[in-house]
Amino acid sequence: MNTVIKTFTLVALMATGVFAVESVTASKNGFTQSYSNLTSDEIDRHMLGKSFFRIPWVEAPSATTARDGLGPLFNANSCISCHPNNAQGSVYTKDGLISRSMVARLSIDANDSLQHQQYMQQQGFVPDEVYGGQLSINGVKDVPYEGKLKITYEEKPIQYPDGSVVYLRVPTYELIELNYGKLNANTSISVRKAPALIGLGWVDQISDEAILANEDVEDKNHDGISGKANRVYSFEKKGFAVGKYTYKASVPTVKNQIANAFHNDMSLTTKFHLKDNCTKTQKACLNAPKAYDAIDVPNNRLDAIDFYLKTLKIPVVESKNQEGKALFDALGCASCHIPSFKTNNKERVYIYSDFLLHDMGDALSDGRVEFDAQKSEWRTAPLWGINSLEKAIGKAVDYLHDGRARSLEEAILWHGGEALNAKNSFMHLTKKQRESLIEFLGEL
Ligand code: HEC
Ligand code: HEC
């Protein structure tokens, strides 16, 4: 009798994905704790996903056939190496080298050709012909890596009306040590830092309708802010879906993104990406030894990682900072960083994002289009888990898509485009008010 009830409960849970929002207090392990109400079967799945998220993959041929197939061209050998403690990467390592969690995405502007239009429909961008969609900084034996990223910062002073000055670091990106010839002059380099993996189970539970309800593409309410959802290709649906994940919201589901990560970052095949990421001209890459199995990461492992990432607690503390919160609302930050959503399970989660794209101005443009996301458009960054970031990565946090902001204050000062008014209002606050707002953000 007991077992029958237990099985029934499990089925009900799996069918609806009902878990209560569970949070942990800020700590080093803020991003790595599993839900406490998992059944023993669920714990097994969570642990399986966790192990595949953390293990280093190895190149073929290898005796370890269960986790071979890394490369030929790749960026890192495990998920965790770019998402340390499930939190975010940084620009530099502790030794001052450019971190591998800084990924350089490559693309060219689409023309009207059939080939380009097909790329736009399926991938949302047109890759560089020689180097593909992402620069690989590593290669297996006998396959030269593609190149390395070089970052140059220029310090630019910003003065508040009250006279105080903050310096922003303005990045210039270049590719060096290129092993497959010069980069096409028309190829744009979009640099992105690995984001923290927070509350993905909750984002999954936000319906398309709830996101679309906040769209205002024509800015009908004349607040200068025109949120737009990204409509992107879904491998699972084999059709279009609302994009929720990655910096330009160009990926519709967590599982889709896990498969993309395996493909782009490690060159491991899945049922969604059947081939390694070599381009046509990269002969050594195309001829490199293949892994033992036809598909490096079978579907049940993708599912396990998906389950793992969706059953992690959220590092949230309740902010008691009423003044900071009031300023956040008054300045219009909350127009894009919408404080909360009600999920499909009717739970309220505090995410501080609308999951829509906004034009953030030329200074933040990366020259790259992804489906409907234009060059200067970005998904509103969710503002949660900030309280635990520094503890989780053990050093100062770099903010914004490419980590150019060294503090929350710098991140705000980079806001432009649709967020220019909010930024200007922030600059006109008193020093004490600015500190209060930043303190509030730091507690989220
Ligand atoms: C080389 C570094 C690197 C590795 C390795 C890596 N990631 Fe990422 N990850 C990134 C970057 C950079 C982004 C942002 C991508 C973008 O905006 O296009 C990202 C984004 C994500 C996201 C989207 C999060 C969100 O909230 O939108 C998920 C989920 C994710 N990665 C999971 C994984 C998994 C699972 C693995 C291992 C299979 C992995 N990553 C391996 C760098 C990495
Ligand atoms: C028009 C929409 C919009 C408005 C208004 C807006 N933001 Fe943002 N915010 C964004 C987007 C989009 C990003 C991501 C930009 C990027 O990564 O390049 C972002 C990023 C941030 C970040 C960095 C988060 C991270 O994890 O890197 C902080 C902090 C932030 N916003 C705070 C604020 C505050 C405070 C205000 C009000 C003064 C505000 N924002 C107003 C859209 C907006």
Q: Looking at the CA of residue 401, tell me the nearest atom of ligand 2.
A: 17
Specify the pLDDT at position 18. 63
Q: pTM for the whole thing? A: 0.95
Integer Cα distance of 203 and 198 in angstroms: 9
Q: How far apart are CA 419 and CA 412, in angstroms?
A: 9
246 ligand 1 Cβ < 6 A: yes
Token pair of 357 as six digits:
């794209």
CA distances 169 to 151, 155, 162, 287, 399, Å, are 11, 5, 21, 42, 12
CA distance 281 to 287: 11
Nearest CA-CA partner of 209 in 244, 233, 238: 244
In degrees and rounded to multiples of 5, residue 271 shows phi and psi of -70, -15
Among 217, 338, 401, 412, name the best residue to mutate to test ligand 2's pocket (greatest count of ligand atoms within 8 A of Cβ): 412
Q: Encoding tokens for residue 331?
A: 């300045």
Give which of 308, 299, 301 is closest to 235, Cα–Cα.
299
Q: Which two tokens stand for residue 262?
A: 């395996």
Q: CA quadruple 248, 100, 139, 128: dihedral positive or negative?
A: positive
Q: Ligand 2: which residues within 6 Å by Cβ?
A: 225, 247, 328, 331-333, 335-337, 358, 360, 364, 378, 380-381, 383, 399-401, 408, 411-412, 415, 418-419, 422, 426, 437, 441
Tally the C-alpha atoms within 13 A of residue 253's C-alpha that lie toward its C-beta.
18
For residue range 29-80, what is the model confidence (pLDDT) as tens digits?
899 999 999 999 999 999 999 999 999 999 988 888 888 889 999 999 999 9
Residue 364 pLDDT? 98
Four-residue CA torsion sign, 180, 181, 187, 189: positive
Q: Is 83 in the pocket of ligand 1 (CB under 6 A)?
A: yes
User: What single letter denotes the amino acid at residue 13?
Assistant: L
Q: Take residue 423 and report the two structure tokens written for it.
A: 């930024």
Nearest CA to ligand 1 atom 5: 79
- Residues 278 and 286 sit within 8 Å (Cβ to Cβ): yes
d(CA 216, CA 165): 35
Q: For residues 393 and 197, is the Cβ–Cβ distance under 8 A?
A: no
Cα–Cα distance for residue pair 401/232, rounded to 1 Å:
20
Burial category of 309 from C-beta neighbours within 10 Å (exposed 0-12, middle 13-18, buried 19 and up): buried
State residue 363 phi and psi, 5-degree precision.
-65, -25
From first to last of the 444 residues of the chain, give the pLDDT tens digit: 343 333 333 333 444 456 788 888 877 889 999 999 999 999 999 999 999 999 999 998 888 888 888 999 999 999 999 999 999 999 999 999 999 999 999 999 999 999 999 999 999 999 999 999 999 999 999 999 999 999 999 999 999 999 999 999 999 999 999 999 999 999 999 999 999 999 999 999 999 999 999 999 999 989 899 999 999 999 889 999 999 999 999 999 999 999 999 999 999 999 999 999 999 999 999 999 888 888 999 999 999 999 999 999 998 767 778 999 999 999 999 999 999 999 998 999 999 999 999 999 999 999 999 999 999 999 999 999 999 999 999 999 999 999 999 999 999 999 999 999 999 999 999 999 999 999 999 999
Nearest to residue 130, comparing CAs of 290, 274, 277, 287? 277
- The answer to whether 339 and 318 have CB atoms below 8 angstroms apart is no
